């Protein structure tokens, strides 16, 4: 709402600036009418034509620039909505190999370079991050409606048994990294707010 008010205010200022300039030129021309010959008036007409063309070009550039900014904001918002549609979670399976997690694309567009880099273990008193190395290759493309399951294992082998106990309590949440189609790198912990 503020941006709309600001843009309306900017348009009003620009309009008043244009009318002010035209009024100034008309007043100067009116003041000089006694000293100008009929041939000079033709030159004044050409000057007005040139000034009008310059103002028209400036207005066209201003409109194009505003439209480009609006389009850029719309694209950024669309990509942010797409980032919210990538959800990760624990699949509920665990063994000595690590923890099975899933990544689901519920959005309308594919994402690329998907990987699970950590598990955020949420305990009753504290939350700690366990860095993980996926046991399978990174997923290159995740199409809309698809789900990818993979096994992740802590990089620190000593944490495996403690992590498995937390999995049974439903505690860990995977941290998923992925790229959208505009090559923006996103990080999302479970179904939390994605960050780029």
pLDDT tens, position by position, 37-72: 777 766 777 877 888 888 889 888 988 998 999 998
Using an 8 Å Cβ cutoff, are 115 and 167 in contact? no
Using an 8 Å Cβ cutoff, are 163 and 131 in contact? no
Residue with tokens 């504290």: 126
Write out pLDDT tens, residues 63-93.
Answer: 899 899 999 888 878 878 888 888 888 876 5
Write out pLDDT tens, residues 148-174.
Answer: 888 887 776 655 555 555 554 556 788
Write out pLDDT tens, residues 86-105.
Answer: 888 887 655 666 778 889 99
Residues 6 or more apart whose CB falls under 8 angstroms from that of 101 comprise: 88, 89, 90, 91, 116, 119, 149, 150, 151, 152, 174
Q: Minimal CA–CA distance to 190: which of 86, 36, 49, 76? A: 86
Long-range contacts of 25-33 (CB under 8 A, 24+ apart): 25/51
**Whole-number pLDDT of residue 168:** 47
Percent of the chain with pLDDT strictly greater than 70: 75
Q: Which residues, listed in sequence order, are joined to residue 130 by a DSSP beta bridge?
A: 119
């Amino acid at each position: 709402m503020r941006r709309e008010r600001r843009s309306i205010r900017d348009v009003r200022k620009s309009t008043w600036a244009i009318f002010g300039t035209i009024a100034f030129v008309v007043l100067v021309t009116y003041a000089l009418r006694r000293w100008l010959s009929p041939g000079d008036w033709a030159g004044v007409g050409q000057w007005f034509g040139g000034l009008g063309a310059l103002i028209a070009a400036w207005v066209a550039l201003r409109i194009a620039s505003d439209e480009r900014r609006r389009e850029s904001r719309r694209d950024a918002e669309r990509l942010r909505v797409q980032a919210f549609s990538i959800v990760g979670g624990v699949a509920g399976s665990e063994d000595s190999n690590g923890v099975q997690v899933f990544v689901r694309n519920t959005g309308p567009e594919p994402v690329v370079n998907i990987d699970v880099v950590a598990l955020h273990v949420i305990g009753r008193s504290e939350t700690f991050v366990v860095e993980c190395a996926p046991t399978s290759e990174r997923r290159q493309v995740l199409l809309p409606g698809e789900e990818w399951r993979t096994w992740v294992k802590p990089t620190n082998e000593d944490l495996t048994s403690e992590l498995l106990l937390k999995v049974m309590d439903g505690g860990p949440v995977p941290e998923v990294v992925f790229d959208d189609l505009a090559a923006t790198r996103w990080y999302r912990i479970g179904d939390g707010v994605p960050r780029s």
